[in-house]
Structure 1
Amino acid sequence: MNHAEQGYTKWIVIMLLMVAMLVGMEIYFDMMQRKEHANTIKISGTYLEEAKDVPHFKLSASVGKTFSEKNLQGHWTMMFFGFTNCGMVCPTTMSALSGMYKTLEKTLPANQLPEVVMVSVDPDRDSIGRMKEYVTSFDSHFIGLRADIQKTIALEKALHIAAAKIEAGPGKNQYTINHSAEILLFNPKGQLQAYLDYPPTAKQLAEDYQLILKATELKGKWIILNYWAAWCESCMKEIPELNRFYQHHQTQNVVLYGVNYDQLPKKELTEAIQKTHIIFPVLLQNPEGIFALKNIEALPVTVVINPNGKMVKKIMGGNTEKSLDSLLADLGGE
């Protein structure tokens, strides 16, 4: 290698480091800004307590039509920004999304499954045909999106996505792209609801998504969580009272859920519910991640959550229908 080539190589390395540092700083400060508006739901990422509206955009879609902000409405959507020449981040993320989708297909009704879309940050090389081939290689349900570079940059800025082309050689197409790797989650109103962190796993994505679904379902209601176990005598004594409370409050803005302390598998939990004659719904997963609850160390315990998702009362010991009615009246829940 002559001196001219050595000088060019050194210049390329310096430029790569500077661009990578700038993009990294943009991603870091953007993450800090998001966390300022986040609540305490325990997911691997940032849940926005106040969902953000999305400005107008229009992209070409691999399913043969355009895709705009209106296509985000009516269902949950997961959006990832990447490119087909990506070496590690994109295939890792898309594989995790594929595994997540297969898991959710087994546990959720079709109308609760998220739509998964990938937006190209490299429209110069990613044709719509190439995007379709790429995303469907992970799952036939996935949709590829692209636009010209100006529209792509505008959408990246609107959604706080950082992306920068990094030259990797003297040729026109000898470059890579350093970009934000989070997955964006949009709620059925078409609003940005969460950023899910990289690197994702199929298991974590499925758990986080279902946690957010449940948090959304419960938002705006008074929630009573009763922790119980079949071996707890005091728990067994209060179950008839809780059943009566549940029967008398089904049409009100108050919901009662049981939480099995032992976190039994679904089959065993179903059997325990039948043996203990519980008629109110029992959650398969502990909702502590939704409400940032601390560990429950004694039974029975009843927790009251207000419509803002904050715990306002923790009751140690058994309850009666009357005591719960009085408590809610005092708290303004009835």
Structure 2
Amino acid sequence: MEDSNTRSKPGYNKTAIISLTIAGLFVGALISFGLLREEEEHIVPEYLVEYVLWDPQPIEPFSLVDFNGREYGVDQFEGKWTFIFFGYTSCPDVCLVTLANLASVFRQLEATAFTMANVQAIFVSVDPQRDTPAVLKRYVPEFDARFMGVTGDESGLETFTRQFGALYFLGEEDNHGSYLVTHNSSVFLVDPKVRQYARFAVPHIPGKITEAFIRIVQHYNAAEEAKKFTWFKKGQ
């Protein structure tokens, strides 16, 4: 008499093979999807986590005016690394220090033979009532002639500042008509693709920012080259 276990083996093997095949296809699909996702994801190395954002967001259109009285919009960021700081010219402390530190960063970058043609710094005044283009033109270049000062009306500033989470509040006027402005003290970095890419929180130590920025650019360029290689492989 034929053993019942022996009779069941052929059917068992077929079922096992089919199950393993399906499982293999499923796992393969997951792996492929994972690899594609990895190629698309913005991977931030550990040494840049302090600065680089995990999900860089594109800067939406906005309308401000520069210290030459010209319209200043999102197209001014294209193809450049842009340092952005929000403040006001009557600021008694942090604005002066931050702009001086950014000027030091620019000098340090030049000393390393870094290509400065694609680097710019923007001081955005959130106090347009006092900081007219003429006032900004006297104030901003004192720190570095390459720095640009911009401002705008309430609507224009709101459209721009909210994209960075850079809230600001005008204080009450004193007996002399003076007032303070509470504002964000971080320095923001926009990449050549016009995305908010990194943020430098206080304290703003020039040497640390310079070193971090160089490494950020190196990481960015390497990632862009890797994407080109990936697209080339997909096209083959």
1:105 is displaced (CA, Å) by: 1.5
1:204 is displaced (CA, Å) by: 1.4
Q: Which amino acid aligns with 1:177?
A: V
Q: Distance in 1 between matches of 2:137 and 2:165?
A: 25
Q: CA RMSD in A?
A: 2.3
Counterpart contact for 1:38–1:47, Cα < 8 Å: no
- More displaced stretch, 145-154 vs 83-92: 145-154
Q: Distance in 2 between matches of 1:203 and 1:44?
A: 18
Please point out which of 40, 50, 56 is paired with 2:61. Answer: 56
Q: Secondary structure at the match of 1:118?
A: strand
Aligned to 2:139: 134
Give the direction of change, closer, same or farther, for the CA distance of 1:181–1:131 in structure 2 (3 Å limit).
Answer: same
Q: Normalising by structure 2, report the TM-score.
A: 0.73
1:90 is displaced (CA, Å) by: 0.2
Aligned to 1:234: none
Q: Which amino acid aligns with 1:157?
A: R
Please point out which of 180, 183, 193 is paired with 2:184. Answer: 180
Residue ranges of structure 1 left out of the alignment (5+ in a row)? 1-36, 223-251, 254-306, 308-334
Residue ranges of structure 2 left out of the alignment (5+ in a row)? 1-41, 231-236
Q: Distance in 1 between matches of 2:56 and 2:171?
A: 33
Q: Secondary structure at the match of 2:100?
A: helix
- Structure 2 residue 215 is the aligned partner of structure 1 residue 211: yes
Q: Which amino acid aligns with 2:109?
A: L
Counterpart contact for 2:68–2:133, Cα < 8 Å: no
- Larger helix share, 1 or 2: 2
Aligned to 1:109: 115
Counterpart contact for 1:61–1:67, Cα < 8 Å: yes
Report how many residues are paired: 187
- Structure 2 residue 193 is the aligned partner of structure 1 residue 197: no
Q: Distance in 2 between matches of 1:96 and 1:60?
A: 24
Aligned to 2:91: 86
Q: Secondary structure at the match of 1:129?
A: helix
Counterpart contact for 1:44–1:204, Cα < 8 Å: no
Aligned to 1:11: none
Q: Normalising by structure 1, report the TM-score.
A: 0.52
Q: Secondary structure at the match of 2:165?
A: coil
Q: Distance in 1 between matches of 2:151 and 2:82?
A: 16
Structure having the higher Rg: 2
Please point out which of 85, 105, 111 is paired with 1:100. Answer: 105
Q: Distance in 2 between matches of 1:120 and 1:95?
A: 16
Counterpart contact for 2:69–2:133, Cα < 8 Å: no
Q: Which amino acid aligns with 2:73?
A: S
Please point out which of 69, 72, 76 is paired with 2:77. Answer: 72
Structure of greater relative contact order (alpha carbons < 8 Å, 6+ residues apart): 2
Q: State the Cα deviation string for residues 109-150 of structure 1 (Å, max 9, x = none).
A: 2334x2001000101110111111111000000000010122
Q: Distance in 2 between matches of 1:130 and 1:193?
A: 30
Give the direction of change, closer, same or farther, for the CA distance of 1:67–1:38 in structure 2 (3 Å limit).
Answer: farther
Q: Distance in 1 between matches of 2:43 and 2:198?
A: 9
